[in-house]
Amino acid sequence: MNTKEMKEIYDRYVIPNYIRNPILLVKGSGADIWDAEGKRYLDLFSGWAVSLLGHCHPNVVAAIQNQAAKLQHAPNIYYTEPQGLLAKHISEKSFGGQCFFCNSGAEANEAAIKLARIHNSDKGRYKIVTFLNSFHGRTLATVTATAQPKYHKGFAPLVEGFSYVPFNDLEALRKSVDDKTCAILLEPIQGEGGINIATKEFMQGIRKLCDEKGLLMILDEVQCGMGRSGKYFAYQHYDIEPDIMTLAKALGGGVALGAMTARKEIAKSLVPGSHASTFGGNPLACAAGVAVFETIEKEGLLSHVTTMGGYAADQLKALQKTRKIIHDVRGVGLMIGIELAVNGAEFIKRCIQAGLFLNCTHEKVIRFMPPLNVKKEHIDEGLNIINTVLSKL
Output the known binding site for N(2)-acetyl-L-ornithine. 138, 277
Collapsing DSSP to helix, strand or coil, 188 comes out as coil
Tell me the C-alpha distance between 183 and 211, whole Å. 11
Write out the binding residues: 105-106, 135, 138, 220-223, 277-278
Instruction: Decide if 166 contacts 131 (C-beta within 8 A).
Output: yes
Residue 97's alpha-carbon distances to 13, 94, 106, 208, 282, in angstroms, are 43, 8, 20, 20, 20
* Burial of residue 12, with CB atoms counted within 10 A of its CB: 0-12 exposed, 13-18 middle, 19 or more buried: exposed
Identify the helix (H) or strand (E) that includes residue 330: strand 326-332
Instruction: Decide if 334 contacts 44 (C-beta within 8 A).
Output: no
- How many C-beta atoms surround the C-beta of residue 129 within 10 A? 25
Identify the helix (H) or strand (E) that includes residue 379: helix 376-391
Write out the binding residues for pyridoxal 5'-phosphate: 105-106, 135, 220-223, 278
- DSSP-H helix ranges across 19-166: 46-49, 58-68, 81-93, 105-119, 140-145
Instruction: Decide if 184 contacts 216 (C-beta within 8 A).
Output: yes
Tell me the C-alpha distance between 217 and 246, whole Å. 11
Q: Which amino acid is residue 75, in one-letter code?
A: P
Instruction: Decide if 376 contacts 363 (C-beta within 8 A).
Output: no
Q: Which long-range contacts (CB under 8 A, 24 or more apart) does 86-92 make?
A: 86/259, 86/281, 86/286, 86/289, 86/290, 86/293, 87/259, 87/261, 89/289, 89/290, 89/293, 90/247, 90/259, 90/261, 91/261
The conformation of residue 199, written as its DSSP 8-state character, comes to: P
